[in-house]
Every structure is written in C-alpha cells, then in structure tokens.
Structure 1
Amino acid sequence: MSKEPDILRPALLSDRFNTLSYDRESHEVIVLDRRVYPFETRYERYGTVEGVARSIEEMVVQGGPPLAYVAGLGLALAAQSCRGQHVAEQRGCVEEAAKRLVRTRPTADDLHWLMEHALVAGLEAIELDEDAFEAILGYVEGEIARGNEVSRACGRHAASLLESGDKVLTHCFAGAALNYMLFYAREQGKEIELIASETRPYLQGARLTASQAVEMNIPVTVITDGMAAHLMSEGNVTKYVTAADRIALDGSICNKVGTFEHAIAARYHNIPFYVLGYDGPDPATPTGKDIPIEERNSREVLFQGGQRIAVEGAQARYPAFDVTPPGLVSRIITERGIFEPGEMAAYFDA
C-alpha cells in the first residue's frame, strides 16, 4: 500500500500576520518572541513606543521585514496616543516616535524605508485633519500583506533554481521566502535537504531555520558556524542560499555576520550562492561600502542563555552583519525575477 502524501503547507513564520499584529481593543503591539521560539510560542505585548523600540533592539523580533513592520505598528501606537491633540502636538508626537524607532537598528534598509513612508502617511492625515492612527496602521498592514506576496513570489523564483537532490546550506534565518522556496520545491516534486548553520549568538539557524524545515517535513541538519567549508569539501553542499538585510546597487549584499566567509568557501568549491533579495536593492545605497554595520553589545557573545561562556577578563566584539561583494554572489532573486549582481539597477525597470 502506498503511503499517503504529506500535506504541504508553508510553516508558521511564512505569514507575518502570524507573528505580529496590532490589537485595536487594548492598543498594544503584539510580537512573537523569536528569542524563545520554537521551544516556547510566546507573544509579547507592548503598549508604549519605548516598549516597541526595545523589542526591536533586544531581538524579540528579528529579520529585516518583520522588525520594520513592528516599528510601523509602533508608529501607529504613537499616533493613537496623541489622538485629539492639536495639530502641532500630533505632528511632534509621531515625528519623535519615528526618530526613536528608526534608531533601533541601523543596517536593515526595510526599517528606514517603511518608517519614512508610514510617517508621511501620518503627517498627511494630520494636515488634512484626518485620523493619523488609521492612516499609519492601514499603510503598515498593507505593507505586511504586500510583503507576504513578495515572499511568495521570491520563493517561487528561487525554487526554480533548485534541483532534486540538492543539499542547500543556509545561514541565519532567511525568512518567509526561504520557507516558500522549500514549499514550492517540494510541490514540484524536488527532494531537497537543508543544512542550517547554527548562527551564533542567537542561534537563528538552529532554532528558526531548523524548526521551519521540520514543520514542512524538509530534512535538515544543523551544523556549527565553522563547519560549512568542510562539508563543501566533502561534496555535501550543492547550493548556498541566504537572505540579505540590505542590497546595494552594485550587487553587494549585507547579511548576518558569517555570510561572507561562507560565500568565500562556496566560490572556492564552485558552489553557487543565491541571495533571496525579496523586493530588491536599496536605491539609496550605491555600494557595499555605504552600508552601516551595526555593532551590538559584546555581552551577547560572552554570554549564552544567561551563562558566561568566556573567561572573566576576555573581551568580545559583535558586528551583527557583514558585506559580501558582488563577485561572490551568483544570482539575486527578487519578486520581480532573478538578476545578476552587477545588474541590480535593472530591478527598477523589471
């Protein structure tokens, strides 16, 4: 008797509405705590702009688009808190909130782009004596829905580059597009194995990437961050796929620190490196040298699960991202199609 086929469905983190929302009754921003997921499915609630900002800084929410959406919901929360005030007071309230939220993470361009447009929506509503809260929230929720569609399209294009039997290395958690890439590859009958580097110090690969693969019945193997080159030398990696927190117009990509060194190893072993570029490059970033790299608190390297893992007196550094030059990138995959790194400017005409 033949086995019934698995029911194919994208995993939980594929739909951003599963992980973040605005509660109109309590006026709180609700965020899935990715620091503890999947071992605990815990949603945190924030009723102040400062609380929302700290949720971004303290890694409750992770990933370029999700943290941008949470910041946008935080701006809606600010607009709600100053409803009914004079025009100047409302304007000052949302402008100050926007400044605080934008300061949370300097590297990811999604945050800055979305906050700029959400702020414009709110200020225009204030000038027209309309409800800034509804204007901002409507805009942000529309962007979340659009982002979900972008993820599906990006993942569908990425699946076309995979072949049955591929062993795909990934670093950190490449987000919803990675889930859709795996989903569409399986739907097309391709047998794919995933290799997830653990991604110190927050272990997004070991927790988030691995959990999504398990949820979709995709075979997944977790490795430490230093093992990738060895696996490549054995022939146990056939593709390397990550996301990007920012893409420059020259095709440089910025992603979780460690992406660059895996790209060097992939090039040495003639393994293609594909980047899930979602909705394309940042038009305000000409080259990789123009991308600011966030330097996070060194305690995040020195401590794991509240326990110090390095000897007292030792110091640490934590640049959260690195930049991979375009010469090491094979293709950049967006919702509009697949691009050579050196042709990213063509994205805007696609």
Structure 2
Amino acid sequence: MTQPLLMHINNTVFLRDGRLVIVDRRLFPLKTEELICRDYEEVARGIEMMAVQGAGDIAITAAYGLYMAARDLEKEQITPEQLRISLAIVKERLFNTRPTGFHLGALLEKIWSRIVWERGDIAQQIMVFIAEAVERQQKRSELTGRWAEQVLEDGDKVLTHCFPGPALLYMLYFAAENGKRLSVIATETRPYLQGARLTAWSASQLGIPVTLISDNMAAYCMSTNMISKVFTAADRIAMDGTVANKVGTYQLAIAAGYHHLPVYILGYGGPDRNCVEGRNIPIEYRDPEEVTSFNGTRITGDLVNGFYPAFDLTPPHLIKGVITDRGIFKPERVADYWERK
C-alpha cells in the first residue's frame, strides 16, 4: 500500500544547501512547489502564510528557523550573551507566528532549555534536538494512529475536519492492513481547504473511498447515516479537556452530539500542562481578507467585512475520547496522560 507524502515530515520540510525547503501545502495536490527560506524571518513568514500546515509540522519548521538564526549569528563572532539575547528575540518571533498551537511553543521551549550555552556550537546543538524531535514526532504519530485504529469497526464512515495530521493517515493505513473496510468524508475546510487539498487527497492515496463535502453539509450527512464517527486533531488541549482546533470543530461536535455520534480527538502528545482551562487558550485571528477573497480574487462587495478566528474551543462533554501516543483518555481525565508512560 502506498504511503501518502504527508505521512512523513521529512518529505515536505527539510534542509538543502543551508536553506530550508518547505513544499508549499497551499498548492497541493495540483502542484508541488518549493518555498525556499534563506533565514529565520523567511521561515516565520512561510509559517504565517500557511505554506506549512499541521501543528507538529509547524513546530518542526519553527525549530529549523531557530537553527538558521543561530547558524547565521555564530558567523558574526558575537559574544555568547549577545547570541543568547538575539536568539531569544528570534524565538519570540517564531512563537508568535501561530499563537494558538501548543506544539510550536513547547518544542521551542524544550530546545531552549536544553542548550548548553557555555559549550558553544549552538546551531549544531539545535540541529541534534531537531533530529530527535522529528524522530519522536514520527513515532508519536504512528502510535497515536495505532490506538485510533482500535476504535474503528469494519464499515465505519469517518468524518474528518481540516488536516488531522499523519496520525489519521496511520489510523487508516493500519485499519486497511487489518481488513477493515472504511470510507472517509472530508470537509473542505474553508478558507485554506486543508480538508480538500491534504486530507481527502492523502486518504485517497491509501485507496480509501473518500467523499469531499463543503463545511455546511456535515449535519445533513449525519442525519442521513452517512457518518458513524468523527475524527479531528487538536492544536492545543487544556488540562480540563477543552480542545482548540481548526474553527468549525465546535459546530461539528455539537451536531455529532445531537445525532449521538462519537467525536474522537487525535491528541498526539497529550495536553498542555501549563494550560489549566480552555479559556486560557489564545485564539489566533487571521486577516479578514482570507475570507472575503479566494485565490487572490475578491468574492464579495468592497464594503463587506470579513471575520476569521482560525480556531475554536470544543468543551470536553462533547468529546468521546482523546487518542494519544500513550493511549485513549476520557477528555475530563486527559491530564492523566502525564502520569502514564
């Protein structure tokens, strides 16, 4: 069985000749074009422009930005203290590219805490940490997918929203290996169409029957028994079980609850230990023109305003389970993730 391109981060984000290559996800699946980043600021803009999508992949991309900044600063022969101050500014810049996501900030802070400043070769130290993070992320995605496959039954009709990342693809891959016949319904996920361009395309590469719907069709599909389970990812999970994910997740969970359908969250590395409640999660508001325009063409009148919160918050009582690399948790007990090894 063919493994989709997006099952492995190294396929779409990697270093080449000292520059960071981001295979631009905004153009999938019709084009495969590379965005070449020469320094950390170009990496930051690439993240902000949505050239890379998916919480884990964004985090790895930001880490590469930190590496490139360290590499360039070390060439300037500045003092260790000046290097640390300058890199702290870079870290803040990268962190603020997508403030809602937990993984980006968590990875940058983990790398920062492990740097031994007196040792020097800071860029090389960061590269070692990035290699470890990529390997850890790949394993985490695979384990999360294995746990998720266990809740699937033969004949399940799975609804997805946005791009839930490689764990979803591993889930479908393992289910097919085990002889489970599945089908997928993917919401297109306006305005960047991650569901159409990434999820539906990747699932189809696995040979899974896929149907694409617009975002406002999900409740109808639920009411006509076209859906049996709902799966999304999470950009951040609070310790109380509240889930921040692509805007539209909350309304899907409400509709699923009304139709008595289970909602599962692919939670990968668990909740944010520093976020006690969902109300503490910052919501990113993006440029309103991303709603009032499509592919650079305005789709409404000049006097019409747009509004684009990139994420929403789904309360734990609407969620059946949070699936992680350490097992499946009830949302109100998701904090137990940190007690389980």
Q: 1:32 aligns with which of 5, 11, 23?
A: 23
Q: What is the Cα deviation at residue 82 of structure 1?
A: 1.5
Q: CA deviation at 1:58?
A: 0.7
Deviation at 1:49, TM superposition (A): 1.1
1:89 counterpart (82, 94, 97): 82
Instruction: Provide the rounded CA distance (Å) in 1 between the counterparts of 2:281 and 2:96.
Output: 15
C-alpha separation in 2, matches of 1:61 and 1:230: 31
Q: What is aligned with 2:35?
A: 44
| CA deviation string 1:56-109 (max 9, x = no partner) | 111011111111100000000011002243212221221121111111111001
Secondary structure of residue in 2 paired with 1:237? coil
| More off after superposition, 257-266 vs 14-23 | 14-23
Whole-Å Cα distance in 2 between the matches of residues 239 and 182 of structure 1?
13
CA shift digits 1:124-168 (9 cap, x unpaired): 2x322x210110111012101100000000001001100111110
For 1:327-346, list aligned pairs within 5 A.
Answer: 327-346=317-336
Equivalent position to 1:114, from 107, 114, 131: 107
* TM-score, length basis structure 2: 0.97
Q: Deviations over 1:274-314 (max 9, x none)?
A: 11000100001111111110000000000001111111100
| 2:207 matches 1:217 | yes
Question: Is 1:141–2:131 an aligned residue pair?
Answer: yes
Q: Could you say what secondary structure the match of 2:112 adopts?
A: helix
Output the CA distance in 1 between the equivalents of 2:284 and 2:89.
22
- Number of the residue aligned with 2:10: 17
Give the Cα–Cα distance (whole angstroms) in 2 for the partners of residues 180 and 268 of structure 1.
29
Equivalents in 1 of 2:335, 2:258: separation in Å?
A: 27
* d(CA) in 2 for partners of 1:38, 1:161: 29
Equivalent residue for 1:62, pick from 53, 65, 88: 53
- Aligned position for 1:233: 223
Structure 2 unmatched runs, 5+: none
Within 5 Å, give how 1:88-237 maps onto structure 2.
88-122=81-115, 124=116, 126-128=117-119, 130-237=120-227
Superposed CA offset, 1:209-246 (max 9, x none) = 11101111110000000000001100110000000000
SS state at 2:84 partner: helix
- Kept in 2, the 8 Å contact 1:82–1:89? The answer is no
Match of 1:114, as an amino acid? L
Q: CA deviation at 1:121?
A: 3.2
Tell me the secondary structure at the aligned position of residue 35 of structure 1: helix
**Percent identity of equivalent pairs:** 44
Per-residue Cα deviation, 1:240-266 (whole angstroms, up to 9, x for no partner): 000000011111111000000010000
Q: Displaced runs of 4+ in structure 1, greater than 3 A?
A: none
Pair 1:288-2:278 in alignment: yes
Moved more, 229-238 or 78-87: 78-87
Aligned CA RMSD, in angstroms, stands at 1.0
39-48 or 251-260, which deviates more? 39-48
- Separation in 2 of the partners of 1:9 and 1:338? 27
Partner of 1:5 in structure 2?
Answer: none
What TM-score comes out, normalization by structure 1 length?
A: 0.95
